[in-house]
Structure 1
Amino acid sequence: MIRLTLLLLCLALPARAQEVVRAFGPENALTRLVLRTTTDVDILAPTVEEFLAAHPGLAIVYEQWGSNALYQRSSEECATGESGADIVISSAVHQMIRLVNDRCAASWQSSFSTGLPDTLRWRDEIWGVTREPAVMVYNRSLVPPDQVPRTRFDLLDLLRPEDSRYAGRIATYEISQSGLGYLFAYMDSQEATTFGALMEAFARSGAVATCCSAEIIDGVQRGDYLIAYNILGSYAVTEALHDPTLGIVAPRDYTLVLSRALIFPGRRVRPEAGAFLDFLLSPAGQLSLAANNLAISADNPAINTEADAPDSARRLIPLAPALLVAMDRAKSERFLSDWRKTFAQ
């Protein structure tokens, strides 16, 4: 099961606080960077340690945040002109695009950063450093093989009968609490002809919207939920490596692919912070991220062939100004209002 401590942190900590703080590197380091991120510390820690092994005398203070709280703190510090972080990495990339648009990020150029395609960088102030699909997860012990949904249409079919055994046992992110969940739902609304039908089916069947990846995956493992929708694949694969009852499906109709976004808050980039980005984008850094499921390949042993969506079905979420629409106050309030009505029960 996912570590109980992370679950309790997700549920209990105030939205304004860091969820985890951990120090990496020597205590007497001459240079210290502050990294704020939504990434689970245990998943990114090996990559941080590999970077520091090549940079003696450097230390990193790792602060793990919820996406909404991280965005709010970053925005407030931008307004004052003083940042408490050297590096910010978030899965809620629409929020990061907003920070860049609001001139809250510094520019950096290197052979690694400028080598990214336009879909993964903007204005040399934001870069995509991972590749993570949004997946469905299910309990192999409780969902028969012939009922495993391989597309959204399959999921709708499971929820269609009035006496469906899946009623009340489908879970997804509560998008008012999760910036990542909001992003996935928003992208669904732009991409899928099935979005309206899914919202109607979720409402009619009593689907559950709840806190975070740890809670949702743990609920599937316990059998509280039979299927979870739009879950970040990196966390699901990490847990599936230790629990064979956890099945993973990358939908064949289309699979959203997230690239966590990195920015340098403030007006200048410390050279050591720039070196960290360059490492993440380098072949060695990408191998390290892949080893920790932050870059998931089709031949990952934790994923069955059922999860292998064709390349034509993969939809990378681009780091582009178009994501600013997701941050428009009127549109987001209307979107959240419709979502709350869906999950009112």
Structure 2
Amino acid sequence: MTRLRHARRFTFMLLLLLPTPALAKTPLVIEAALDRPVVEPLLEAFTRAHPEIELDYRDRSTLEVDRHARQMQPAPDVVISSAMPWQMNLVNDGLAQPLESDESRRWPAWAKWRNEVFGFTFEPIVTVYRLELARHMLPPTTHAALHRLLITRQDMLRGKVTTYSPSRSGVGYTLFQQDARYSPRFWDLVAALGAAEVELEESTRAMLEGLSGGKYWVGYNLLGSYAMQWAQTHPQLIVQVPQDYALVMMRMAFIHRDASHPGAARSFMNFLLGVDGQRLLAGSTPLFSVLPDVVGPYTAQRLRDQVGERLYPIPINASLLAFVDPLRRDAFIARWNREIRILEP
């Protein structure tokens, strides 16, 4: 009997010495048109707050995110994009599930739709130019001033101006549609861009790389969040919020209807919309917090205080659906091609 007791005790001691298997984490798949280096402080804070969740963050273009949200099997858990009409169209097609939480109910009504999709950033659209430009001409502070420069200094600026391709970028197409809404001279500006042999890019990052490398002198309609962060380490670049009017884009996020890990998705969305997440956006990223009571260098209220009534946020409502109507989009792209007279690759 004593020998049996010793054997049991020895077996128990061996079990204590064996490594304890790690508890399995819950995966969370996020398809996002949002550069990871920009949003990294928020992702790191979420991981610290939820060590039980394994974050799989996939950074893609806006049109890739839209395609994956519709076709990927299994579906992503959370979908994030700056292409606001495409996001609204996904939700309108029934690919989102509602978020019922204190955070979603407190979220500003103007920045959400049916508690299914939420605009969680407030990013100005900007012009970026090299200091080199200022040695030759007065930098443009308005859309009209840019138009004037393209006409009067066309020879010097030929091939040195860049903007989005509306056919290859969902956010670029959205911004140009908004420009056409607010500016009666928009198509004149497009024609002047074409005459200056503008280079069309798919992303703000590509434009910023060209600007910092000296290929471009002026970039039109860049995402202010990326441009402001980039300029911190590239002092040869100046970021200008247009003084006549400034568009504001919101990143929109939702939980996919077929999310494999809906609990983890709800945890992420609540963190994103909560005070802690928004404070991180306002203080540690240039994405600009939406919540009115959050304090930091990057908040919607601070931007409004600086720009005033000339700030034009793109609204989150059913009107966005018109922008992805195939007939309307085809007509817009056809006119763009006529005015700009550039054959895209």
Coarse TM-score class (shorter-chain normalised): 0.7 to 0.9
1:190 lines up with 2:184 in the alignment: no
Of 239, 243, 254, the match for 1:252: 243
**Cα shift readout 1:150-192 (whole Å, capped 9, x = no counterpart):** 1001101101227542232211011111111111111111122
What is aligned with 1:278?
A: 270
Distance (whole Å) between structure 1 residues aligned to residue 279 and residue 108 of structure 2: 19
Q: Kindly provide the CA deviation profile for residues 241-261 of structure 1, in whole angstroms up to 9, marking residues without a partner as x.
A: 111111001101111111100
Q: Matched residues in 1 for 2:209 and 2:51: separation?
A: 38
Find the aligned partners of 1:65 and 1:161 in 2 and give their Cα distance.
38
- Counterpart contact for 1:134–1:233, Cα < 8 Å: yes
State the partner residue of 2:309: 312
Q: Deviation of residue 309 (structure 1)? A: 5.4
- Distance between the aligned counterparts of 1:246 and 1:54, measured in 2? 36
Distance across 1 between alignment mates of 2:212 and 2:153: 25
Indicate if the aligned counterparts of 2:97 and 2:256 stay in contact, CA closer than 8 A.
yes
Q: Which residue does the alignment assign to 1:32?
A: 27
In the aligned structure 1, how far is the partner of 2:206 from the partner of 2:154? Answer: 26
Code of the aligned partner of 2:342: A
Asked if 2 retains the 8 angstrom alpha-carbon contact of 1:120 and 1:319, the reply is yes
- In the alignment, the residues of structure 2 paired with residue 123 and residue 117 of structure 1 have an alpha-carbon distance, to the nearest angstrom, of 12
**Structure 2 residue aligned with 1:205:** 196
Corresponding residue for residue 99 of structure 2:
108
- Residue 326 of structure 1 pairs with residue 319 of structure 2: no
1:330 and 1:244 mapped to 2: Cα distance?
A: 43
Q: Decide which of 246, 262, 274 is 2:253's aligned counterpart.
A: 262
Matches within 5 A, 1:140-155: 140-144=131-135, 147-155=138-146
Partner residue of 2:229? 238
Give % identity. Answer: 29
- The answer to whether the aligner puts 1:172 opposite 2:153 as a matched pair is no
State the Cα distance separating 1:266 from its structure 2 match: 1.5
Identify if the C-alpha distance between structure 1 residues 295 and 338 changes in structure 2 by more than 3 Å, giving closer, same or farther: same
Pair 1:266–1:163, CA change in 2 (3 A): closer
Name which one, 1 or 2, has greater alpha-carbon Rg.
2
Letter in 2 for 1:65: R
- 1:288 is matched with 280
Note the alpha carbon deviations across 1:205-257, whole angstroms, 9 max, x for none.
22221232121111111221111000001111111111111100110111111
1:73-152 correspondence runs (5 A): 73-77=68-72, 83-144=74-135, 147-152=138-143
Is contact 1:100-1:125 (8 Å) kept?
A: yes
What is the CA–CA distance in structure 2 between the aligned matches of 1:320 and 1:240, rounded to whole Å?
A: 33
Hey, what's the Cα distance between the residues in 1 that align with 2:296 and 2:165? 31
Q: Is the 8 A contact 1:158 1:164 kept in 2?
A: no
8 Å contact from structure 2 (residues 133, 139) kept in 1: no
Q: What residue in structure 2 maps to residue 12 of structure 1?
A: none
> Which amino acid in the other structure matches residue 317 of structure 1?
I
Residues 90 and 262, structure 1, Cα contact 8 Å, conserved in 2: yes
Matched pairs, number: 310
How far, CA to CA, are the matches of 1:225 and 1:86 in structure 2?
A: 38
What residue is the counterpart of 2:334 in the other structure?
337
Q: Residue in 1 aligned with 2:215?
A: 224
The structure carrying a bigger helix percent of its residues is 2
Of 226-235 and 212-221, more deviation after overlay is shown by: 212-221
Q: Which amino acid aligns with 2:330?
A: E
Larger displacement relative to structure 2 (143-152 or 188-197): 143-152
Contact in 2 for aligned 1:94/1:324 (Cα 8 Å): yes
Partners of 1:201 and 1:219 lie apart in 2 by 20
SS in structure 1 of the partner of residue 166 of structure 2:
coil
Give, as a single letter, the amino acid of the residue that structure 1 aligns with 2:212: Q
- Tell whether 2:47 aligns with 1:52: yes
More off after superposition, 330-339 vs 120-129: 330-339
For normalisation by structure 1, the TM-score amounts to: 0.84
CA RMSD of aligned residues (A): 2.4
After superposing the two structures, state which structure 1 stretch, 308-317 or 95-104, moved more: 308-317
Query: Which residue in 2 is equivalent to 1:21?
Result: none
The equivalent residue for 1:10 is: none
**2:99 aligned counterpart, secondary structure:** coil
- TM-score when scaled to structure 2? 0.84
| Alignment CA distance shift 1:202-1:296 (3 Å) | farther
Kindly state the Cα deviation for residue 127 of structure 1 after the two structures are TM-superposed: 0.2
Other structure's SS at 1:47 match: helix
The letter for the 2-side match of 1:42 is P
CA distance, structure 2, for counterparts of residue 299 and residue 245 of structure 1: 26
Stretches of structure 2 that go unaligned for 5 or more consecutive residues are 1-21, 299-304
